[in-house]
Amino acid sequence: MASINSIPEKTIERLSEYRRTLLSCHKRGITHIFSHVLAGIHGITAVQVRRDLMLIGFSSDTKKGYDVKTLIDFINGILDSESAMNIAVIGMGHLGRAIAKYLNGKGLKLRVTAAFDIAPDKVDCDIDGIPCYHMDRFEEIVEASDISIVVISSPSRVAPSLVVPIINAGIKGVLNFTSTPLHFPQGIAAENYDITTIFEKVAYFVKESDDMGDKN
Amino acid sequence: MASINSIPEKTIERLSEYRRTLLSCHKRGITHIFSHVLAGIHGITAVQVRRDLMLIGFSSDTKKGYDVKTLIDFINGILDSESAMNIAVIGMGHLGRAIAKYLNGKGLKLRVTAAFDIAPDKVDCDIDGIPCYHMDRFEEIVEASDISIVVISSPSRVAPSLVVPIINAGIKGVLNFTSTPLHFPQGIAAENYDITTIFEKVAYFVKESDDMGDKN
């Protein structure tokens, strides 16, 4: 993804992860946390945590560790937009529905507010509280519903045909869960996120460790 | 993930991605592909493609490009184990069911053959053709069903309590989709894969590009 500012992509990912840990600490009444504790939870070094927080301009009294609530608010200011962002899901199969339900149950500033499909038993239906429209109406609905991000969970073979409508509709962010990598012009933040890849990767390392075991 | 051999993790990910593209080319009757074409599809450089294939010892007649079928077979030999690997899903909510359905529909050498939950309306039921057991029977079923990989799609708060049963059952690979990062001893390939992170990352870049737009 093209970064148009000075905070690296990986730091943004980690800030999102730190925040979830901090929110869970806050819930349990923990008021302060040391960088090495936060680092331990995320399997990274304390130096990395301190570097990330320095990058966003956060400093704190190091004797007591970071103030959990203050740090949450600080990360909110970096990651969140003022109003909630609307997301549309293209392809309301099992994966699309799972992602919509998962996101809307998280209490994030991101909400799935529309869905698109072409199956007659889905179009013009309410699916888990989300209105599902025919893909023909994509541009119209995106504009009317102020949608800025789309999730692609359609069949992989359909994915390439979605690029032009997505550009034309003025979408700013794309999460592509299909097996077909898609490319968008600069100005559209796109992430290809094929679940098959991580399964095949883990399976490879499992196989290799089995092979090693056989040799020993 | 700790690599115990000489092929880097990122190369393994790309091999999985190349293979899906090659399989799709093969289906459409394409017999040869140049490194720069494969690179273009995946948004990387031709040098990166050639380096990855050199790393696994694949060479070819560069005048005609790579032979698609031969390269697929070669990557199969690297990534796949001889027999299919059995996967169990822990937590058969929407995400767990979607992942199970998605994987079993892909024709991979990876199959979800068992599921675990604690909800009375799921335990001892068949869910989309997958038998669902009570979590109390985890070790017993893992052994009986020769399961080597687990998917964690339980509520995030439950995730930490799964680490010890997973280690005790002799699981070799873990894909954790919850928001709680988990750590496992060496010898267990574990991947923390929180979907919230990529959504928050894309949302951040969308927000930043909006802010830039406002300034212009």
Q: For residue range B140-176, list pLDDT tens digits in order.
A: 999 999 999 999 999 988 999 999 999 999 999 999 9
B59-95 pLDDT tens trace: 876 788 999 999 999 999 999 888 889 999 999 988 8
Say yes or no to pLDDT of A99 above 80. yes
Q: Which residues of A touch B196 (CB under 8 A)?
A: 16, 20, 103, 106, 108
Whole-angstrom CA distances from A131 to A107, A151, B47, B95 are 19, 15, 45, 20
Q: Which residues of B touch A174 (CB under 8 A)?
A: 202
Minimum CA–CA partner of B179 in chain A: A20
Average pLDDT on B106-125 reads 94
DSSP calls for chain A: ----SSS-HHHHHHHHHHHHHHHHHHHTT--EE-HHHHHHHHTS-HHHHHHHHHHTT----TTT-EEHHHHHHHHHHHH--SSPEEEEEE--SHHHHHHHHHHHTTT-SEEEEEEEE--TTTTTEEETTEEEEEGGGHHHHHHHTTEEEEEE-S-GGGGGGGHHHHHHTT--EEEE-SSS-----TTSEEEE--HHHHHHHHHHHHHHHHHHHHH-
Say yes or no to pLDDT of A5 above 70. no
State the count of interchain CB pairs (< 8 A) between A and B. 197
Average pLDDT on A154-176 reads 95
Report yes or no: B199 and A12 within 8 Å, Cβ to Cβ: no
Residue B37 half-sphere exposure, CB side, CA atoms within 13 Å?
A: 13
Interchain proximity A102–B94, CB inside 8 Å: yes
Q: How many CB atoms lie within 10 A of CB A21?
A: 18
Reported ipTM: 0.85
From the list A21, A94, A110, the residue facing B102 with the nearest CB is A94
Say if B179 is an interface residue toward chain A (CB within 8 Å).
yes
Say yes or no to pLDDT of A61 above 60. yes
From the list B109, B187, B209, the residue facing A172 with the nearest CB is B209
Q: Which of A19-33, B128-142, B177-191 has the highest mean pLDDT?
A: B128-142
